[in-house]
A and B are shown apart, each in its own frame.
Chain A
Amino acid sequence: MNLLQHLQHEQLTLATRRHFLKEAAFGLGGLCLAGQNLLGATAGSIVKRDEENPLNALAPSFAPKAKRVIFLHMAGAPSQMELFDYKPVLQQYDGKDCPQEYLEGQRFAFIKGVPRLLGPQFQFKQHGKSGAWISDRLPSLYKHADKLCFIKSMQTDQFNHAPAKLLMHTGNQNLGYPSMGSWITWGLGSENQNLPGFMVLLSGGRSPRAGAALWNNGFLPSVYQGVQCRSGGDPVLNAANPPGINRNIRRAALDSLSRLNTKTHEEIGDPETVTRISQYEMAYRMQVSVPEVMTIDDEPKPVLEMYGAEPGKNSFANNCLLARKLAENGVRYIQLFDWGWDTHGSSANESLKDGFVKKCKDIDQAVGALLSDLEMRGMLEDTLVVWGGEFGRTPMQENRGGGAANAFVGRDHNPNAFTIWMAGGGVKPGMTYGESDELGYRVGSNPVHVRDFHATILHLFGFDHHKLSFPFQGLNQKLTGVKPAKVVKDVLA
């Protein structure tokens, strides 16, 4: 182990132990005293690990199928009925008043009174040997049909964007909980010591609602928070040296700073000082590694063309290509948010016939390219690609304010049933799990709650969701929370 690795290791040990001690020793009851046998106190949870060597101890409980994730979140919630969840019955009822049984006791974000049903707006065909239904909005996916594993029976508890997004990414609708990326990087660490283990890329012109809370570390040590990369200015804020300072000067200054801080640590003994030393080193490495990996300027033309990426632009296509580069460089958790999928029909931009069509065009080629690219590089088998939104959309046309329908064609939020798909990383290819009811409004069979989805992803990374836990506020906190969650075994390869 060189000094750097040593520091990194020590920092993790300290960070983990610090939190561990704090929470465990002064958790519920407040009577527990530090220095006692803490391991015994938490039998059954992840803290069975070797306290002195958290990285080793945190190796997954069983062989993981996935080593990294690329999570493509279509922020605003894409309509499953226009993409994957083909509903011929809904077509028959197009324009009819929605049956009362669907409305009773339901709350909607915008629908008022009795809305009308809205048939699928685009043509569907089955593709591949698996016969997956894919609409004509995403033609680049046709050839990947047999790689995809659809879950058409997803369910969430929340029907507003910010809480639903928080639930999808942190397992809790409230602010303050660690994101799945933080959990996984906490559990597994990063494969590249020069890059953060968890990186976030945004496109679509705006940040997703709830913003940075979606990639926050919550109560986990802050080294596990997602790092947002930017398209304007430095890819990571302040990654560039200020005027008058080059790399050599920075190195010399940091060497000195590190030696000075080491002295301070020898004198004061504050573990935070050790963490700080390693964070400065990490910052230094990020200054080079981030701009290097965060540029597509040097990518060969065919690659750029395959993705539809254009250097210098902020686009989902660029982000997909960047995601592949980050994955290649050992980033554990790569989170993309593409804003603009909230298709209510309240304006042209929010209409299925206009804005939605554009959004599909924005992503189609890039998603296809990403899958092809990962496959070509032999990375798809251990890279889990996830595509989806925070909830689904209603089979009814939205009628904001209680009239017949909005000015444009759109659908309201639907937490009761929605579709996501996964590919690679240990999921069964060419498979569809679960279905929605005839109208696509509720789950018809095999419901998969967001908690189950989380349990399944953790399983793919080699973790039992019951055991990947962290003590906080008197609870052994888990990504899947306190309600029962199950691994969807049927989708595992």
Chain B
Amino acid sequence: MRFPCFGLISLIYLSHSLNAEIDFARDVRPILNANCTACHGGVKEAGDVSFIYRERALGKGESGKPVIVPGNPDASEMIARIVSTDPDEIMPKPEHGPSLAKFQINILRQWIQEGAKWGEHWSFVPPHKHPLPSIKKTDWPVRDLDHFILARLESENLNPSRVAKPEQWLRRASFDLIGLPPTLEEIEAFKKSAAQNLQVAIEKETDRLLASPRFGERWASVWMDLARYADSVGYADDKRRDNWKYRDWLIDSFNKDLPFDQFTIEQIAGDLIPHATLEQKIATTFSRLTQVNSEGGTDDEEFRVVAVMDRMSTTWETFMGVSFGCVQCHSHPYDPIKHEEYYDFMEFFNQSKDADIDEDLPRLSVPMEKSHYDEANRLHEQIRISEQSLFTERNKIDSTTKWQPVTSVKAEAKKAILTITGREGYDEFQADPNVASGAEYVLTFPTDLKTVTALRLEILPLDLKTAAHTPEWGGIIKQMQLEVVDASGKATSVKIHEVIADEAHPMFDPNASITGSDKGWGTYSKFSKPRHATFVLDQPLTLSPDSKLRVSLKNGGTYSASFPMVVKRGRLALTDEPAWINHRGESNAVSAKRAITDARQKLKSIPSTTTPVMVEREPEHRRNTHMFIRGNWLDKGHLVKEGNTPKLFPSLKKSGERATRLDLAHWVASPQNPLTARVAVNRFWLELFGKGICPTPEDFGSAGEPPSHPELLDHLTVMFVNEKKWSVKSMLREIVTSATYRQDSSITDELEEKDRDNRLLARGPRQRLTAEMMRDHSLSASGLISHKIGGTPIQPPLPPGVWKPFVADAWKTPEVGNPERYRRSVYIYFKRSILYPLFSSFDVPPRDLSSKRRLVSNTPLQALTTLNDAAFHEAAVALSKRMQSADPSDLGKQIALGYRLATSGEIHADRTTELRNLHQQLVTEYKNSPDTMKGIAKTPEDAALAVIASVLLNLDESVTR
């Protein structure tokens, strides 16, 4: 039996469903998914039968018999096959699974009888407000949401728990909202105000926590799992990459309560927002947190495509909770999303400039100080606008230029064999397939032009047709030199003034090809159509009739993934159009160039780092997006006309002629999108209660689990969008100040029996601290913590034997006492291939891909970490010193202080006695072997106290919230 629950569902269904109308999504789809769609679904349509779409299910199968006849189960082949006793006929086939249970058949019969109405899966239906359910214990709820929880509890004959002690609530809320324990002063103050009016105190305290700058750090760490944030590029080399400005942006966004719809839009398409701020551009690092494969032998286009697909999946799974990756190869196995729709969606992400090149471009230069952001953004814009205006001017010149194709070419080459072929009026040069890195070409040719002002070099793909959908390896011109050769053979060098690319904003400066450089103009690393550059002479060159021109091209080397960056096919053209030279003296051009130089210079003077960002290709260099046959990127199907979203959902609104990534972002963040707000609200719930209302945050589709409180999820979703205007802080406030959240977390025998997992929430949540909280807690309790916000990654102590990076990447731990050693864990350098051990022991995902939830474990390795790890040891010793400050002569007070710092609670006498006894025992032990004290303390008493501190930090109530 595949689905363990059917026995139970049957009881419920039998008692309810015979009277009530069958609901397709609730009652039928699960049966189909469990028993039928593996063969008759989106992947396989055995016998030409599929149960994903109604029109297909009502059609005829291969046998010619109608699969489902609405209103007539007896005429429906589906039922005939399900109830058949013939082993050749029965469905599911015996080798595929057991036959359906009676109650399931009854459901299907009744459903067909009632007209075989199709119904959408719950999460694809827009949420709506539900009336508050009636409850008996009317004085319990504080918020509307409490009504839904209580109604369910009452229906199960369960009572909510008593209100948690103030310190328990405060600890819970403090960790949940800011990821840190409350300070002693905060506890005291809260206890006092709670004694006067609990709810008022709770609300005030919640506001304080939401206003804390620590709030952003805590919630950024949640989002970083989703965004697959890392400080390295991944794959085999896993080199360091500066992404941390995006982390700063996250922290900042949470702190200033950027509305969640805006938060969504900026991450998906901040670069395309009109007059985008620097922050909005930084937000798009979200999509660039994909891995870069710089391992030899890997194809940049292949891994560009992998990154594009990862962006698609991450966008779907993070914001909308629907798995989308499977649609790459075939239609969705369960949900009505078609194979083609995947590629319509791909178009949105297929136009960004990045292409898996080792330099990881484009990268935005970002000032270290936020105060310089606006200025830098203005300068970036100045460059962009000026480049665009220069490009437009030059395009105008180009459109009226008469280019004369170069013919009669004599070609020589080093490290290559060049052949010359006449084609389209040109003499094309083409290198043999085994051309090596750094090949040099010398092309000599006559011209009947009397004057030459510019020369155009065109690079062509070897196979134009294929390259149009699957690009070829390109080439780079490290240096281009032009000479004029007179009749006697004497060569004179001709000065080139500038190189003008066929795009407004080339990633590398094309002018580098004049002086000679590692990377000048070219088609690095792959290209899909002919590209050209115009080499403009310094002065018009007057030619005598018998002189010739000689062009020397030095090709690029092996930069990326061991493929030589050499031009394999090209052609030249000349012109005498004076505008190419004259143009540079015109005021527009002069001022544009000055503006660029000025802006670059000013940018240089601002101390900056970089972050990878999304930048769209210019319209004339748009990529062709094709469907991949069975998901194979090399096997291209039809050309996608423009980006679109699956038909299953409300349609996309275009702002212009073509749908853009920004349109998509608005679609995702739209109140009409049935998923985005739901998924967000569910995530808040998950963080606060340890379980989502929908328990599978990674899958809101029909293969996921349905919500425990569907009306509540709807209620919160509608509230989030309409009432709270997507404010994350307001939404969290709503939940944290509820009666549900403030319950005591003790587990009674009854609750253990009936709802051990606390899905019904008859008690408050009790969660283990996350990896980040675990370390931050020990730093906080010990007083070591440093609260500097934002900035570059930190490298706290690391156990020996762990750090073995594949390519050089030093781990430098700041010395003891340096505040950088004690900063919060959200800043720990995150290398994908070597997870920080604390992270891997405490369930942090590797972040190669987006991760939707952490499965909380409880293992001996965690105990070894918090007992023995150098960082925790250091914290324990520091805590013991802090404990002494309570009263150097009163062990009881010291223990009480330590306990409060570690657990936020008051110690009971029996625990004090336990720890006093331990202290005594340890003092004796240290006295007996004084050598042992090395590295922990100078006196047996101090050493014993340090061990007590370690015990305190390891208490169950210390590692939970």
Seen from chain A, the residues whose Cβ lies within 8 Å of a Cβ on chain B are 17-18, 21-36, 38, 40-45, 47, 107, 110, 175, 196, 206-207, 211-213, 217, 219, 222-223, 225, 227, 230-234, 236-246, 248-250, 252-253, 256-257, 259-261, 263-265, 267-273, 275-277, 279-280, 282-283, 286-287, 344, 346-347, 400-401, 403, 471, 473-476, 482, 484
**B801 to A26, Cβ gap below 8 A?**
no
In the complex, chain A residues whose CB is within 8 Å of the CB of B855: 219, 222
Candidates A36, A346, A476; contact of B296 at CB < 8 Å: A346
**A283 to B433, Cβ gap below 8 A?**
no
Give, as a whole number of angstroms, the nearest-CB distance from A355 to chain B: 15
**B863 to A280, Cβ gap below 8 A?**
yes
**B753 to A35, Cβ gap below 8 A?**
yes
Candidates B5, B696, B746, B864; contact of A238 at CB < 8 Å: B864
**B870 to A473, Cβ gap below 8 A?**
no
**A44 to B8, Cβ gap below 8 A?**
no
**A196 to B837, Cβ gap below 8 A?**
no
Candidates B5, B8, B745, B914; contact of A259 at CB < 8 Å: B914
In the complex, chain A residues whose CB is within 8 Å of the CB of B675: none
**B4 to A42, Cβ gap below 8 A?**
yes
Name the residue among A45, A271, A272, A471 with the largest chain B CB count within 10 angstroms: A272
- In the complex where A257-B951, A473-B696 touch, is A275 in contact with B858 (Cβ < 8 A)? yes
Tell me the bound Cα distance from A21 to B495 in angstroms: 80
**Chain B contacts with A in 737-790, Cβ cutoff 8 A:** 745-749, 752-757, 759, 766, 768
The number of chain B residues with a CB under 8 A from chain A is: 104
Tell me the bound Cα distance from A241 to B934 in angstroms: 13
Tell me the bound Cα distance from A239 to B98 in angstroms: 49
Candidates B34, B38, B707, B946; contact of A28 at CB < 8 Å: B34
Give, as a whole number of angstroms, the nearest-CB distance from A335 to chain B: 16
Tell me the bound Cα distance from A352 to B759 in angstroms: 57
Tell me the bound Cα distance from A165 to B565 in angstroms: 34
Candidates B563, B800, B922; contact of A401 at CB < 8 Å: B563
6 contacts between A and B (CB under 8 A): A22-B759, A29-B9, A32-B9, A41-B4, A236-B864, A256-B918
**B858 to A270, Cβ gap below 8 A?**
no
Tell whether B253 is near chain A: CB-to-CB under 8 Å.
Answer: no
Tell whether B506 is near chain A: CB-to-CB under 8 Å.
Answer: no
In the complex, chain B residues whose CB is within 8 Å of the CB of A234: 799-801
The 8 closest A-B pairs by CB, nearest first: A244-B936, A243-B935, A232-B801, A233-B801, A222-B857, A283-B863, A269-B747, A41-B7
Tell me the bound Cα distance from A471 to B412 in angstroms: 70
- With A222-B857, A223-B858, A243-B936 already in contact, 12 other A-B pairs whose C-beta atoms are closer than 8 Å: A22-B759, A25-B759, A33-B156, A107-B634, A207-B833, A249-B922, A260-B914, A270-B960, A272-B956, A283-B860, A403-B433, A482-B2
- Residues 685-713 of chain B, each 1 if its beta carbon lies under 8 Å from chain A, else 0: 00000000001100100011111100000
In the complex, chain B residues whose CB is within 8 Å of the CB of A240: 868
Tell me the bound Cα distance from A259 to B804 in angstroms: 40
Give, as a whole number of angstroms, the nearest-CB distance from A282 to chain B: 4
Candidates B5, B806, B936; contact of A27 at CB < 8 Å: B5
**B747 to A257, Cβ gap below 8 A?**
no
- In the complex where A41-B7, A175-B849, A270-B747 touch, is A246 in contact with B932 (Cβ < 8 A)? yes
Give, as a whole number of angstroms, the nearest-CB distance from B834 to chain A: 9
**A279 to B858, Cβ gap below 8 A?**
yes
Tell whether B558 is near chain A: CB-to-CB under 8 Å.
Answer: no
**B757 to A26, Cβ gap below 8 A?**
yes
Give, as a whole number of angstroms, the nearest-CB distance from A266 to chain B: 10
Which residue in chain B gives the minimum CB-CB distance to A40?
Answer: B7
**A237 to B802, Cβ gap below 8 A?**
yes
Give, as a whole number of angstroms, the nearest-CB distance from B473 to chain A: 9
Candidates A30, A110, A239; contact of B705 at CB < 8 Å: A30
Tell whether B95 is near chain A: CB-to-CB under 8 Å.
Answer: yes
Tell me the bound Cα distance from A230 to B798 in angstroms: 14
Tell whether B818 is near chain A: CB-to-CB under 8 Å.
Answer: no
**B9 to A233, Cβ gap below 8 A?**
no
**A244 to B951, Cβ gap below 8 A?**
no
**B956 to A273, Cβ gap below 8 A?**
yes
**A34 to B755, Cβ gap below 8 A?**
yes
Which residue in chain B gives the minimum CB-CB distance to A23?
Answer: B4
Candidates B34, B95, B868; contact of A239 at CB < 8 Å: B868
Give, as a whole number of angstroms, the nearest-CB distance from A198 to chain B: 12
Tell me the bound Cα distance from A33 to B840 in angstroms: 34
Tell me the bound Cα distance from A283 to B862 in angstroms: 9
In the complex, chain B residues whose CB is within 8 Å of the CB of A32: 5, 8-9, 12
Seen from chain B, the residues whose Cβ lies within 8 Å of a Cβ on chain A are 1-9, 11-12, 30, 34, 38, 95-96, 98, 156, 296-297, 433-434, 563, 632, 634, 695-696, 699, 703-708, 745-749, 752-757, 759, 766, 768, 799-802, 804, 806, 833, 835, 837, 840-841, 846, 849, 855, 857-865, 867-870, 873, 910-911, 914-915, 917-918, 921-922, 925-926, 929, 932-937, 943, 946-947, 950-951, 954-957, 959-960
Which residue in chain A gives the minimum CB-CB distance to B936?
Answer: A244
In the complex, chain B residues whose CB is within 8 Å of the CB of A242: 867-870, 873, 935-936
In the complex, chain B residues whose CB is within 8 Å of the CB of A45: 1, 4
**B922 to A24, Cβ gap below 8 A?**
no
**A26 to B297, Cβ gap below 8 A?**
no
In the complex, chain A residues whose CB is within 8 Å of the CB of B841: 237
In the complex, chain A residues whose CB is within 8 Å of the CB of B860: 196, 279-280, 282-283, 286
In the complex, chain B residues whose CB is within 8 Å of the CB of A346: 296-297
**A28 to B9, Cβ gap below 8 A?**
yes
**B806 to A206, Cβ gap below 8 A?**
yes
**B911 to A237, Cβ gap below 8 A?**
no
Tell me the bound Cα distance from A430 to B919 in angstroms: 63
**A264 to B956, Cβ gap below 8 A?**
yes
In the complex, chain A residues whose CB is within 8 Å of the CB of B804: 232
Give, as a whole number of angstroms, the nearest-CB distance from A286 to chain B: 6
Give, as a whole number of angstroms, the nearest-CB distance from B238 to chain A: 11
**B867 to A283, Cβ gap below 8 A?**
yes
Name the residue among B11, B632, B837 with the largest chain A CB count within 10 angstroms: B11
- In the complex where A257-B951, A400-B297, A484-B95 touch, is A252 in contact with B7 (Cβ < 8 A)? no
- In the complex where A211-B846, A246-B929, A471-B4 touch, is A25 in contact with B757 (Cβ < 8 A)? yes
Give, as a whole number of angstroms, the nearest-CB distance from A124 to chain B: 30
- In the complex where A242-B873, A267-B746 touch, is A283 in contact with B864 (Cβ < 8 A)? yes
**B3 to A269, Cβ gap below 8 A?**
no
In the complex, chain A residues whose CB is within 8 Å of the CB of B434: 403
Give, as a whole number of angstroms, the nearest-CB distance from A239 to chain B: 6
Candidates A30, A211, A344; contact of B708 at CB < 8 Å: A30
In the complex, chain A residues whose CB is within 8 Å of the CB of B937: 244
- In the complex where A34-B755, A41-B7, A276-B858 touch, is A260 in contact with B745 (Cβ < 8 A)? no
**B3 to A244, Cβ gap below 8 A?**
no
- In the complex where A36-B8, A41-B7, A175-B849 touch, is A238 in contact with B951 (Cβ < 8 A)? no
Tell me the bound Cα distance from A117 to B97 in angstroms: 43
Give, as a whole number of angstroms, the nearest-CB distance from A220 to chain B: 10
Name the residue among B745, B753, B867 with the largest chain A CB count within 10 angstroms: B867
Which residue in chain A gives the minimum CB-CB distance to B874?
Answer: A242
In the complex, chain A residues whose CB is within 8 Å of the CB of B926: 249
**B868 to A241, Cβ gap below 8 A?**
yes
**A238 to B946, Cβ gap below 8 A?**
no
Candidates B1, B632, B910, B947; contact of A245 at CB < 8 Å: B947
In the complex, chain B residues whose CB is within 8 Å of the CB of A35: 753-754
In the complex, chain B residues whose CB is within 8 Å of the CB of A275: 858
Which residue in chain B gives the minimum CB-CB distance to A162?
Answer: B848
Name the residue among A34, A227, A233, A239 with the largest chain B CB count within 10 angstroms: A34
In the complex, chain A residues whose CB is within 8 Å of the CB of B11: 36
- In the complex where A287-B864, A484-B95 touch, is A43 in contact with B1 (Cβ < 8 A)? yes
**B2 to A260, Cβ gap below 8 A?**
no
Which residue in chain A gives the minimum CB-CB distance to B868?
Answer: A238
- In the complex where A43-B1, A268-B745 touch, is A249 in contact with B947 (Cβ < 8 A)? yes
Tell me the bound Cα distance from A40 to B1 in angstroms: 12
Which residue in chain A gives the minimum CB-CB distance to B236?
Answer: A209
Give, as a whole number of angstroms, the nearest-CB distance from A94 to chain B: 23
